[in-house]
Amino acid sequence: MRLRGLAAAGMVAGAIGLAAVAAPPAQATEGAERITVTGEVIDSWCYLSEIMWATGSAHHRCAVWCARGGVPVGILGEDDEVYVLLMLENDPGVIGNRAVFRMQTNEVVVTGDLYQRDSVNYLAVSEIVEDHGIVNYSHEEFDIQPGGL
Amino acid sequence: MTRMPSHRPFVRLAAAVAFVGAVTVSGIASAANSWGLPDEVEARFDATVTDVLCVLSGDCPEDCGAGSRLLGLLQEDGTLVLPLKNAGPFTGPTADLIPFCNQRVTVDGLFTTNYGITTFAVQFVRPEGGKWRGANGFVRQWAKERGLEAKDKKARRWMRNDEAILELIEEQGVLGLKSKGITP
């Protein structure tokens, strides 16, 4: 399972050419680091638990289900790090938020404040700089996760 | 400044191992059911239900965001546990925890560590002085809002019956690529 997960991360990074870029001048809140992250919006649980193929179009519907169901959403960055969404465009209401689950699976470029605590990266997104839509066509290899239509 | 991740996975792994070691787990055996998760550890522990943004930034509404914000489990020693999942299908733990905002609870479930990140799946929750309850709050709430019992088939398959999901999948398609003419 771990190898599959690592392969998934590598495939995603390679397939969509992700790039974490330089941090702009720090205007982060105290205790945070202002960063820019490019990556795929993911369901954090399915990805971290590896219970199924959890990136790209193959997993889009499941990612929508989970976001609607209140599972925290993340961004899988170019550095293979998972950034758990803490705010979206300065709105802390990220649980079950339609704006959040509408973005599932999209490749986005975001800026925000990074907090690191007890092994987890938390990202308070202040701005969605770019939204490229879905660019990871994983359904071509993995069909629909979980369990087809 | 470009982020330099090359050494970080090792640092993160070590941090995660240390984190699991630091989590204060009660001496009472966990009743959690194994899900076969990566580096799974069954655990029962006490914590305060907290608004994660509050802990990290000091922005602290009294109601922890009334179910809209990311919730955490803050242990007495300051360890912040991130619960990602509850016991329901495709659902998170917010509905199970928000009734106990800023209150002490005992939770029972599974730690999992992967990619150096440790998170928790809540299977049961007990408020201080209260009774254990299965962590299936989202489905219970979803069913109640529609005049159903949680055991109703429609509620158990809530994700295939939820109005907001049906609307979005109709618009985007199962693959999310309908606008590009790609459908299963």
Domain annotation covers residue A107: yes
Average pLDDT over residues B125-140: 97
Output the furthest CA–CA distance in chain A (Å, rounded): 46
pLDDT bucket at B30, cuts 50 / 70 / 90: confident
Let me know: does B115 contact A48? Beta carbons within 8 Å: yes
Predicted confidence (pLDDT) per residue in B71-86, tens digit: 999 999 999 999 999 9
How far apart are the CA of A67 and the nearest CA of chain B, in angstroms?
A: 8
Average pLDDT for chain B: 89
Cα gap B80→B86, rounded to integer Å: 17
Domain annotation covers residue A147: no
Radius of gyration of chain B from its Cα atoms, rounded to whole angstroms: 19
Which range marks the domain in which residue A19 is found? 2-139
Domain annotation covers residue A82: yes
Tokens of B73: 């489990």
How far apart are the CA of B98 and the nearest CA of chain A, in angstroms?
A: 12
Using CA atoms, how far residue B152 sits from A109, B155, B156, in Å, is 41, 5, 6
Q: Considering the entire predicted model, what is its pTM?
A: 0.86
Which one-letter amino acid corresponds to residue A85? L
Domain annotation covers residue A135: yes
Residue B28: helix, strand or coil by DSSP?
coil
State whether A71 and B117 contact (CB < 8 Å): no
**Number of structural domains, chain A?**
1
Q: Which of B57, B86, B142 to mutate to test the interface with A (most CBs of A within 10 A)?
A: B57
DSSP β-bridge partners for residue B54: none
- Cβ neighbours of A105 in B, within 8 Å: 176
Tokens of A14: 């390679």
The complex scores an ipTM of 0.88
Residue from the list A87, A97, A120 with its beta carbon closest to the beta carbon of B53: A87
Domain annotation covers residue A149: no
State whether B70 and A119 contact (CB < 8 Å): no
